[in-house]
Amino acid sequence: MWPIIKKEIRENARYLLGAFVIFLLILDFGAFDRGWVLLGIAMLLNGQHASWQNTTYYVAAGGMEGSWNSACLLLAGAIAWGQVYQERRRKTWPLLVHLPIPRSRMVFAKVLAGLLMYFIVCLPLALLDIARLNTPGVWPGPIYVSMFFPMLTYFLAGAMFYLTVFLSAFRWARWYATKWLPLMAAIPVYIVCECLNRPFSFWEVSTGTPYMSLTVVVLTPLSLVFVIWAIREQARTREY
């Protein structure tokens, strides 16, 4: 598996670097009180970043979940689609399929590589955000572990979104509408994210919401299992 993972990372390294910069700008855009991106860049270049700390938002503190979530979605989707599309464009699927390994292993090596690339871009940014938040004198209040949950949940939901986009791009379908059907499997995961990020009262029995949240909590692993099974089946039976 490792040679395929290495190949994927090597081939996509420059795109990952680009994605990292764009991701950084998106977060910076959010961090500057949703101000102008160009202003943000200019100030970054002038080293004035620190002077804006008072109005800076942090993903970890829940101030810019939207930006983080969108960036995770975009990145995960772009990686998955790009991995499938570039083999199709270069007509190199037959080369990979003819490698003397089971097809499912070849495809899962690509999937693992894609997830790894997603983590490579996201993880340093998340750690950077956490580090900034933890810098003494920056956050005007106590810091709880629960403050990092939104970041973590959307990060993991992005990984699930990656799997569904990969499956959609990978499988043959006659119609676009049916081709992108696997994306539906990512929906329960986002509902779970919303539920997890609600106040604790949301989970209390008296409110009546736990039944709904528990349903989606059950649906999430089911969706995950379904998507992984579907990728394996597609790898085994798809035509190249």
Residues 77-136 that bind another protein (CB under 8 A): 90-92, 94-95, 97-102
CA-based torsion, 203, 205, 207, 208: positive or negative? positive
- Cα–Cα distance for residue pair 220/188, rounded to 1 Å: 6
**What do you get for the CA distance between the two ends of the chain, in Å?**
20
In the complex, the smallest distance separating the C-beta of residue 11 from another protein, rounded to whole angstroms, is 5
CB distance 15 to 74 below 8 Å:
no
49: phi > 0 → left, psi -120 to 50 → alpha, else beta; which? alpha
CB closer to another protein, 94 vs 208: 94
Of the residues 7, 34, 49, 232, which one makes contact with another protein according to CB under 8 A: 7
- Cα–Cα distance for residue pair 156/164, rounded to 1 Å: 13
In the complex, the smallest distance separating the C-beta of residue 179 from another protein, rounded to whole angstroms, is 17
CB closer to another protein, 92 vs 146: 92
In the complex, the smallest distance separating the C-beta of residue 182 from another protein, rounded to whole angstroms, is 22
Binding map of another protein across residues 45-84, x = CB under 8 A, - = no contact: ----------------------------------------
Binding map of another protein across residues 8-47, x = CB under 8 A, - = no contact: --xx------------------------------------
Q: What angle do CA 13, 14, 17 make, to 5 degrees?
A: 90
Q: Contact between 208 and another protein (CB under 8 A)?
A: no
In the complex, the smallest distance separating the C-beta of residue 12 from another protein, rounded to whole angstroms, is 9
CB closer to another protein, 198 vs 236: 236
The window from 4-12, 23-31, 131-139, 140-148 that contacts another protein (CB under 8 A) reads: 4-12
In the complex, the smallest distance separating the C-beta of residue 2 from another protein, rounded to whole angstroms, is 8
Within its chain, how far is the Cα of 120 from the centroid?
A: 11
The window from 5-13, 52-60, 152-160, 227-235 that contacts another protein (CB under 8 A) reads: 5-13
Biggest alpha carbon–alpha carbon distance for the chain? 59
Q: Is residue 50 classed exposed, middle or buried when 0-12, 13-18 and 19+ CB atoms within 10 A define those classes?
A: exposed
CB closer to another protein, 144 vs 175: 175
In the complex, the smallest distance separating the C-beta of residue 4 from another protein, rounded to whole angstroms, is 8
Within its chain, how far is the Cα of 63 from the centroid?
A: 18
> For 125-192, what is the HEC assignment?
HHHHHHHHHHCCCCCCCCCCHHHHHHHHHHHHHHHHHHHHHHHHHHCCCCCHHHHCHHHHHHHHHHHH
Query: Where does this chain bind another protein (CB under 8 A)?
Result: 2-3, 6-7, 10-11, 90-92, 94-95, 97-102, 239-240
